[in-house]
Amino acid sequence: MVDKTVASPEAAVAGIPDGSTVMIGGFGRAGQPSRLIDALIAQGARDLTVINNNAGNGETGLAALLKARRVRKVVCSFPRQVDSFHFDALYRAGEVELELVPQGNLACRIEAGGSGLGAIYTPTGFGTKLAQGKETRRINGRDYVLEFPIRADFALIKAERGDRWGNLTYRKAARNFGPIMARAADCTVAQVVEVVPLGALDPEAVVTPGIFVKRVVMAGATS
């Protein structure tokens, strides 16, 4: 019997080694898998490369992981926010590396990573500082920058409902990076509000098919 559900957030993040590359879903706090991040902090993995749209808000979730000094490098589009003070301090002290990626390039590089593509040509960033030193090409009269896929060892995402095969649905705009990150990691771990029996999810409405998911953990509703 295929059963991807695990009993606890601790079990869900077991085996993430030091030095791993970890995608973390969410746009700010919406869709952020805070229970998995808390469990990752308790688990102790360090020297992590984290891929997220932002670089933490306030004191919880990704901000707490940064504060605990577990992160060597952040790949994101928008680190600077009113409440990103933990990232800001570490960055200014030179204690965390930043790779800044335009948000759409972040998304399509992750999509490329999950789709088995070798690289992509994107118009975004052409002629800017963020494309300096990168290969470019003019295709049908439009200028593009060559960008490479992003993959991760683990993806930690939040979904709304999941079943034991790993099928997932999401809630409102908390979906954001979840479905594309799920496809781009060797081991995708989903924190769900509710685990439901097989067949309870409408097959027409499944957003992430279970093939992309390795572990599902019920975490209830989180703020």
Partner 1 sequence: MKPLTRNQVAQRIARDIPEGAYVNLGIGAPTLIANFLPVDREILLHSENGILGMGPAPPQGDEDWDLINAGKQPVTLLTGGAYFHHGDSFAMMRGGHLDICVLGAFQVSASGDLANWHTGEADAIPAVGGAMDLAVGARQVFVMMDHQTKQGEAKIVERCTYPLTAAHCVDRIYTDLAVLDVTGRGLIVREMVEGLTFEELQRRTAAPLVRG
Q: Pairing mode, if any, of strands 48-51 and 71-76?
A: parallel
Query: What is the Cα–Cα distance from 88 to 68, expressed in whole angstroms?
Result: 14
Task: Please state the length of the chain.
Answer: 223
Interacting stretch for partner 1, rule CB under 8 A, among 13-21, 38-46, 62-70, 87-95?
Answer: 87-95
- Binding of residue 113 to partner 1 (CB under 8 A): no
Residue whose entry in the numeric block shows the structure tokens 């080694």: 17
Interface characters, 170-209, with partner 1 (x: CB under 8 A): xxxxxxxxxxx--------------------------x--
- Of 42-81, which residues contact partner 1 (CB under 8 A)? 53, 77-81
- In the complex, the smallest distance separating the C-beta of residue 109 from partner 1, rounded to whole angstroms, is 11
Residue 53 or 188 with smaller CB distance to partner 1: 53
Token readout for 167 is: 């099928």
- Binding of residue 102 to partner 1 (CB under 8 A): yes
Q: Which of 152, 150, 171, 151 is nearest to 160 (CA)?
A: 171
Task: By CB under 8 A, name the one of 4, 29, 67, 70 that touches partner 1.
Answer: 29
**How many CB atoms are located within 10 Å of the residue 155 CB?**
32
- Binding of residue 166 to partner 1 (CB under 8 A): no
Token readout for 16 is: 């993430």
